[in-house]
């Protein structure tokens, strides 16, 4: 299977979304103290980077 730029960006987007969901779930369910805010912020950052990867699909 040939991996062109669009499939690489698609897989990167999928991995970033999965990691973002895991980090947000850690923030919600495990860390009730101030560390939860950090995990939540990093999870939202993963979502925003995945959004950029998805927007770049087809243009690079």
Compute the C-alpha angle 46/18/27, nearest 5°. Answer: 65
Query: Cα-flanking dihedrals φ and ψ of residue 3, to 5°?
Result: -100, 105
Where exactly are the structural domains of the chain? 5-56
Going by C-alpha positions, the residue among 8, 51, 10, 46 that lies closest to residue 26 is: 46
Give this prediction's pTM: 0.82
**pLDDT tens sequence across 5-55:** 888 888 999 999 999 999 999 999 998 888 889 999 999 999 999 999 888
53 in Cβ contact with 19 (< 8 Å): no
d(CA 42, CA 48): 10
**What is the reported pLDDT for 14?**
93
């Amino acid at each position: 299977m040939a991996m062109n730029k669009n499939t690489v960006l698609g897989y990167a987007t999928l991995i970033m979304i999965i990691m973002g969901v895991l980090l947000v779930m850690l923030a919600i369910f495990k860390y009730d103290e101030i560390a939860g805010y950090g995990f939540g912020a990093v999870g939202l950052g993963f979502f925003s980077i995945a959004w950029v990867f998805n927007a770049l699909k087809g243009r690079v």
